[in-house]
A and B are shown apart, each in its own frame.
Chain A
Amino acid sequence: MYAFDYHKPRSLAEAAALLAEKAEGRLMAGGMTLIPTLKQRLAAPTDVIDLAGIPGLAGISVTAHEITVGAMTTHAAVAHSPEVKAKLPALAALAEGIGDPQVRHRGTIGGSISNADPAADYPAGLVGLGATVVTDRREIAADDFFTALFETALEPGEIVRQVRFPIPLAAAYAKFPNPASRYAVAGVFVARTANGVRVAVTGAGPSVFRVPEMEAALDASFTADAIAGIVVSADGLNEDPHATAAYRANLVKVMATRAVAQILEH
């Protein structure tokens, strides 16, 4: 690791001020991505600004129509929250499938979505549910939040405060993990909402994306058969030694079908 200065601000304003002041400063939430990156000398921030000391950033609150998850809430907290399990079990299951138990104990939703790893699980959940990302300065629809590979709509210095998930009628997440990293080779989140079906895919492309043909087909008939005839194009999908684009295209369809089946079973 390269040397850096460490800061543990006590408020979002203080964190924002530090970020503004330190040109090469980096925010740290759980550190599950940042610390391995630093260890491999793939990043050299002058300053690391730890968000763990800011009150109110962690926690889950639930209303009749919405679940709000604070940016510093760990994956384990989401996975084990009785309220999330009761009202949005697909989100709890998604969180329970991230990394391994030790990663879930430290990793946070805010860190995950700000990093925007193309193979992370949360982006599928956010986009699939039509969530809203609340920052220290505005609200961003999930559809607009993830912009490209490791890119988000966050402006320099902007800090995620929380994510608001509307509670759907039903939802499910199915993913196929990379045998080595266990990140998603393809993960598909399907949600039936009052405003129609949403299908969001992570892992397969450079960034999370929706599949409008599947959404339309499922709006017309929410059955596995409805999407059986849809051909997912391999164009632009990721390629690596574990998965070709064609294989990923296949997995998108298979995982979507399984998510639909899960919803129908319940």
Chain B
Amino acid sequence: MADTIPVAFSVNGHEVAAQVEPRTLLVTFLREQLNLTGTHVGCDTSQCGACCVHVDGTSVKSCTMLAVQADGCDVTTIEGLGTPEDLHPMQVAFNEHHGLQCGFCTPGMIMSAVNFAKGHPDPTESEIRDWLEGNLCRCTGYHNIVASVGAGARAMAKG
């Protein structure tokens, strides 16, 4: 048992092929094999959302997905969303509206928000708050996160 098995998928546009133990979580693979440490682990009950990434364009909790389940998929992490030189509009919005303090929940929050924004070009406050059920933050009281997500969604809609 526990032999490694091959996986191959795309991460932030780069093809990745590796041998993994079946029990390897996607988040562990991203953090430890690929050194993509922007994706965080804040709980072990699939609730905090610090580990949110996109798999085939949809936000998922990478702590609740095996790396092998991503075989053949397109994975995007916070590092693939934008760079310090070329920020994604949602990243800009979080900076502009002070939507982060310690920054630990932020990558997951942003990845979740980007997914939300695709279906909500001009969201209401309650739509944003409902969507964020799966992303916990202990610093901001959510007030400025909600403002950031709204502004980011509208900026994304403008293109």
Measured CB to CB, the residues of A under 8 A from B are: 1-6, 8, 31-32, 35-36, 38-40, 46, 48, 50, 52, 76, 99-103, 105-106, 181-182
Contacts and interface: CB of A to CB of B under 8 A. Distances in A.
B64 interface: yes
Interface of B: 1-3, 5, 21-23, 25, 44-47, 49, 52, 58-61, 63-66, 68-69, 71, 112, 115-116, 131, 133-135
A101 B115 contact: yes
B134 A101 contact: yes
A182 B132 CA distance: 13
10 contacts: A5-B3, A6-B5, A31-B64, A36-B44, A46-B1, A76-B58, A100-B49, A101-B134, A102-B64, A102-B134
Given A36-B44, A100-B133, A4 B69 contact: no
Given A32-B46, A101-B112, A101-B133, 15 more contacts: A4-B23, A6-B66, A6-B68, A31-B64, A31-B65, A35-B46, A36-B44, A48-B22, A50-B69, A76-B58, A101-B134, A102-B60, A103-B134, A105-B59, A105-B60
Contacts of A101: 59, 112, 115-116, 131, 133-134
Contacts of A8: 68, 71
Nearest to A3: B2
- Per DSSP, are chain B's interface residues mostly helix, strand or loop, or mixed? mixed
A5 B22 contact: yes
Given A3-B21, A31-B64, A40 B69 contact: no
Nearest to A40: B44
A6 B59 CA distance: 24
Contacts of A4: 1-2, 22-23
Contacts of A5: 1-3, 22
A2 B2 CA distance: 9
Contacts of B47: 100, 181
A25 to B, nearest CB: 12
B23 A2 contact: yes
B59 A35 contact: no
B114 to A, nearest CB: 12
Contacts of B134: 99-103
Given A6-B66, A101-B115, A36 B46 contact: yes
B5 A106 contact: no
